Amino acid sequence: MRPIQTDGPTPGLETEAGPPLMRLLLRVNDFVLDWRRYNLVSNYMAEYSSYFFEQKDRAENLISSVFYELIGHISSCANRDSRIDIQFSVREGWLLFAISATIPREELRWLKELLEEIERGDLDASYRSLLEADLSVPAVYRKMGLIMLAHDYRARLSARLDEKEGMATVHAVIRQEEIDT
């Protein structure tokens, strides 16, 4: 998939081979009302999915860590009255994460710029300069979750952003071997 898509159907993880291994559809407002749900949902997705892997405990730790950042990032900028669609699958040695929600236009643009920055830049340099920057500034620290996933977990991030509908779907794709290393 191209890093940023602005046209075509919303890509979930459903394929001809079948539905994703796991999918949750939840209200964004629930996360706003109680932030502990980030932890709860990430751990639930991870624990359920971990049984698909030989290295169950390491898989659980990775999946929860990745979902936490993705759910946290998307739900914090999504419309409160929208729903967040959380999907996970495994295909041909890759772990596939997908998160969709309705997001205000300015947030879509910001997300697009961030993903482009991750895509084109030297990740080591980007991450180092992010860590050296003033992390109390919201425009700086809001980048940290996704850049950390790209840098530390070698996640390939991409998105389908529909400005007309205000819908964003962010995908993170990680090699299964990252569980073992």
Partner 1 sequence: MNITGERYTISYDPVDQQVNFEGVLRPVNPSDLERIKDYLIDLHDKLDGTMRLSFRKMRYINSAGLRAVVGFLKYARSSGKMTIKLVGSKVLTWEGKSLSSLASLWSGIDFIVYDDKFYESQGLIEDASFIPLLRNQTRLLWQQEKEILRKHGLREGMKVADICCGCGDVALLIAREMKPSIVVGLDHSAPAIEYAVGLQREFKVKNADFKLGDATALMMDDELFDFVMCRLSIQIFSKPQEILKELYRILKPGGRLYLTGEDYDLIVGYPNENEIRTVYNKAGKYGTDMGMDLYNGRKLYSTLTGMRMAGVKVDYISADTVNSDRKVFAEMITSWRHFSAEKIGKTLKIPPMEHDNLLDGYDAHLKTIRNLLGYTTWTVVAASGEKQR
Residues interacting with partner 1, by CB under 8 A?
35-36, 38-39, 54-59, 61-62, 64-65, 68-69, 72, 124, 127-128, 131-132, 135-136, 141, 144-145, 148, 151-153, 178-181
Q: What are the φ/ψ torsions at residue 7 (nearest 5 degrees)?
A: -145, 175
**Closest separation in Å from C-beta 61 to partner 1:** 4
Q: Is 144 exposed, middle or buried, given 0-12, 13-18 or 19+ CB atoms closer than 10 A?
A: middle
Distance in Å, CB of 118 to partner 1, minimum:
14
- Report the nearest approach of partner 1 to the CB of residue 63 (Å): 9
| Least Cβ distance, residue 5 to partner 1 (angstroms) | 25
The token duo for 174 is 């990680």
Closest contact distance (angstroms) between CB of 11 and partner 1 is 25
Could you tell me whether strands 4-5 and 156-162 are parallel, antiparallel, or unpaired per DSSP bridges? parallel
Q: Pick the closer one to partner 1 by CB: 16 or 134.
A: 134
* Residue 161 C-beta: closest distance to partner 1, Å: 22
Phi, psi of 167 (to 5 degrees): -100, 135
Q: Which is nearer to partner 1, 15 or 55 (CB)?
A: 55
Round to the nearest angstrom and report the end-to-end CA distance of the chain. 25
Name the residue nearer to partner 1 (CB basis): 7 or 51. 51
- Give the single-character DSSP code of 15: B
Q: Which is nearer to partner 1, 59 or 115 (CB)?
A: 59
Taking the least distance from each CB to partner 1, the nearer of 50 and 167 is 50
Beta-bridge mates of residue 1: none
Q: Which of 117, 164, 122, 125 is nearest to 142 (CA)?
A: 117
> Which residues on neighbouring strands pair with residue 24, listed in sequence order?
86
| Nearer to partner 1 (CB atom), residue 63 or residue 167 | 63
Backbone angles phi, psi at 102, to 5 degrees: -85, 130
